[in-house]
Amino acid sequence: MTNQNGQSINDSTTVGSIVAEDFRKAEVFREFGIDFCCGGNKSIREACKEKGIETSEIIEDLQKLDIQDTKPEHNYNSWDLDALIGHILTVHHTYVSEALPMLDEYAAKVAEVHGESHPEVLEIFKYYTAVANELRMHMHKEEEILFPYINQIAIAKRSGQQVPPSPFGTVRGPINMMETEHVSAGNALEAIKKLSNNHTPPEDACNTFRTLYGKLEEFETDLHRHIHLESNILFPKAIKIEEELMS
């Protein structure tokens, strides 16, 4: 099967590369519970084996999307890296910065008020606090160190200049650190999802409780897109461009 972008898809194609070509396909993987961001380097065959699903089910749903006339809203894979960074900052970093204060307040309140009758929210609060603190530091390092350097090499590539000096050796070093943190954040949100029964509030949940679970689900969806853009598109291209400039 070849998709509308010319990519041939079979059970050995990686999940991340499929979503990099057409982000609509992220929804197919999400419905089957397949991680397309941190686990994006797995093939369809490997991902399906882990989940106990037939590869034909996934490929059939992917084909249905390619039959449709609608095109992806954005082909992020074709964007210049500095434009992609601008998008990540204005859309995803801004979303996280705005969402965290509300989540901080609601996660703490629900844990305090409902922790005795629903002990799972105490665990959710623990995982949430860890991922929130990590994300704050993670985004700071990207905004102050990694992204400015990737912007520089993107500009150098377009203008035919030499690779600029960096304070950290090659870009692989900080990228490896960022990807380790992506996995950590993904694992924490997966734990929250399981503890909350797929973000389903109990029958006796108050409005704050329900809002917390709804916001956590929204937060997870945004973070999956955020991590996908970095791990499957931005970072591999930055490594490739730096290597080309240094050769």
Contacts of 12 (CB under 8 A, 6+ apart): 43, 44, 45
- Is residue 19 within 8 Å of residue 40, measured between CB atoms? yes
Residue extents of the structural domains in the chain: 15-67, 79-246
Structure tokens at 205: 């949940």
Residue 190 to residue 78: CA distance in whole angstroms:
30
Of 58-72, 78-92, 100-114, 137-151, which gets the smallest average pLDDT? 58-72
Residue 93 to residue 101: CA distance in whole angstroms:
14
Structure tokens at 87: 């998008």
Q: What is the pLDDT of residue 37?
A: 65
User: Can you say how many angstroms the Cα of residue 59 is from the centroid of all Cα atoms in its chain?
Assistant: 22
Q: What is the pLDDT of residue 7?
A: 56
Q: Is the pLDDT of residue 12 over 70?
A: yes
At 105-163, the pLDDT tens digits run: 999 999 999 999 999 999 999 999 999 999 999 999 999 999 999 999 999 999 988 88
In three-state secondary structure terms, 84 is: helix
At 207-230, the pLDDT tens digits run: 889 989 999 999 999 999 999 999
Express as a percent the part of the chain with pLDDT over 90: 62
Q: What is the pLDDT of residue 228?
A: 92
Handedness of CA 23, 142, 129, 209 (dihedral sign): negative
| Integer Rg of the chain from CA | 20
Q: What is the pLDDT of residue 69?
A: 43
Structure tokens at 32: 């089957």
Q: Is the pLDDT of residue 164 over 90?
A: no
Enter the pTM of the model: 0.75
Express as a percent the part of the chain with pLDDT over 70: 91
Q: Is the pLDDT of residue 63 over 90?
A: no
Q: What is the pLDDT of residue 128?
A: 98
Name the residue type at position 58: I
Question: Please, which pLDDT band fits residue 73 given cuts at 50, 70 and 90?
Answer: low
In three-state secondary structure terms, 14 is: strand
Angle in degrees, CA 43, 176, 234, rounded to 5: 65
More confident residue, 68 or 44: 44
- Chain mean pLDDT for the chain: 88
Residue 5 to residue 7: CA distance in whole angstroms:
6
Residues linked to residue 8 through DSSP beta bridges, in sequence order: 2
If phi over 0 gives left and psi between -120 and 50 gives alpha, with beta otherwise, what is residue 34?
beta
Q: Is the pLDDT of residue 3 over 70?
A: no
